[in-house]
Structure 1
Amino acid sequence: MSRFGVLLVAIIGLSGCSLLDKVVYRIDIPQGNYLEQEDVDKLRVGMTEEQVIFVLGNPVAENSFDSDRWVYLYNMDPNSGKDFRKELVLTFNNKQLQDFKGDFDKPENFEQPLDQ
Structure 2
Amino acid sequence: MLAELPFVYKMTVQQGNILTEDMVDQVQLGMSRSQVRYLLGTPMLADMFHTDRWDYIYTIRRGHEPMQSKRLTLYFDGDTLTKIDGWIEPDPARALAAEEEREIVITVPDWKDNRGLINRALNTIGVGADD
- Give the TM-score taking structure 2 as reference length: 0.64
> Structure 1 vs Structure 2: percent identity of aligned residues?
29
1:25 to 2, 9, 14: 9
User: Please, which runs of 5 or more residues in structure 2 have no aligned partner?
Assistant: 94-131
Work out which structure has the larger RCO, using CA pairs closer than 8 Å and 6 or more positions apart in sequence: 1
Residue of structure 2 in register with 1:34 after alignment: 18
One-letter amino acid of the counterpart of residue 49, structure 1: R
Q: Distance in 2 between matches of 1:80 and 1:60?
A: 25
- The DSSP-based 3-state class of the residue aligned with 2:63 is coil
Tell me the alpha carbon deviations over residues 21-73 of structure 1, each in whole angstroms, 9 at most, x when there is no partner. 32321211101001111110000111111111100000000100111000000
Asked if structure 1 preserves the Cα contact closer than 8 Å seen for 2:76 and 2:82, the reply is yes
Structure 1 gaps of 5+ residues are 1-16, 110-116
- RMSD of the TM alignment (CA)? 2.0
Distance in 2, matches of 1:73 and 1:103, equals 10
1:41-52 matches, cutoff 5 A: 41-52=25-36
The aligned length equals: 93
Instruction: Return closer, same or farther for 1:19/1:41 CA change in 2, 3 Å cut-off.
Output: closer
**Aligned pair partner of 1:88 in 64, 67, 72:** 72
**Which of 1 and 2 has greater Rg?**
2
Distance change >3 Å, CA 105–CA 19, structure 1 → 2: closer
In 2, Cα distance between the equivalents of 1:39 and 1:107? 11
Partner of residue 97, structure 1: 81
Decide which of 47, 50, 61 is 1:66's aligned counterpart.
Answer: 50
